[in-house]
Amino acid sequence: MGDQQTPDAVAAGNRTPRFTTPDWWIYRGVGRPWHDVRPIDLLPPPPPWRTFDGGPLPDSDEPPQDGDGEGTRRLGVELHLSERDVDPHEVDAVNAALYLRRPLIVTGRPGTGKSTLAFRIARELGLGRVLQWSISSRTTLRNGLYGYDPIDRVQAAAAARGTGDPPEEPPIGDFVRLGPLGTAFLPSVTPRVLLIDEFDKSEVDLPNDLLGIFENGQFSIPELVRVQQRTPEVSVFTDDPDRRAVINGGRVRCREFPVVVITSNGERDFPEAFLRRCLQLRLAEPGIDQLTAMVAAHLRAGDDERRAALIQEFVDRSAAAGGLPANKLLDAVFLATSGAYDEQDESWPRLLDALWRRLTSVS
262 and 114 fall within a common domain: yes
Domain boundary among 239, 266, 282: 282
User: Which comes out higher in pLDDT, residue 118 or 62?
Assistant: 118
Domain boundary among 264, 282, 300: 282
- Number of structural domains found in the chain: 2
Residues in the chain: 363
pLDDT, tens digit (0-9, with 9 covering 90-100), for 238-270: 999 999 999 999 999 999 999 999 999 888 899
Q: What is the largest CA-CA distance in the chain?
A: 80
- Domain housing 232: 25-282
245 and 330 fall within a common domain: no
Residue 223 Cα distances to 37, 56, 147, 173, 175, angstroms: 42, 19, 10, 10, 11
State the amino acid at position 182 in one-letter form.
G
Q: Provide the pLDDT for residue 61.
A: 79
Residue 13 lies in a domain: no
Domain boundary among 282, 315, 343: 282
Q: Provide the pLDDT for residue 49.
A: 96
pLDDT, tens digit (0-9, with 9 covering 90-100), for 31-60: 777 777 888 889 999 999 999 999 888 888
8 Å CB contact between 76 and 252: no
The pTM score is 0.88
pLDDT at 363 over 60: no
Report long-range pairs for 15-23 (Cβ below 8 Å, ≥24 apart): 15/84, 17/83, 17/84, 18/84, 18/88, 19/88, 21/83
Q: Provide the pLDDT for residue 164.
A: 58
For residue 128, what is the domain's CATH number?
3.40.50.300
pLDDT, tens digit (0-9, with 9 covering 90-100), for 201-221: 999 999 999 999 999 999 999
pLDDT averaged over every residue in the chain: 86
Residue 104 lies in a domain: yes
122 and 83 fall within a common domain: yes
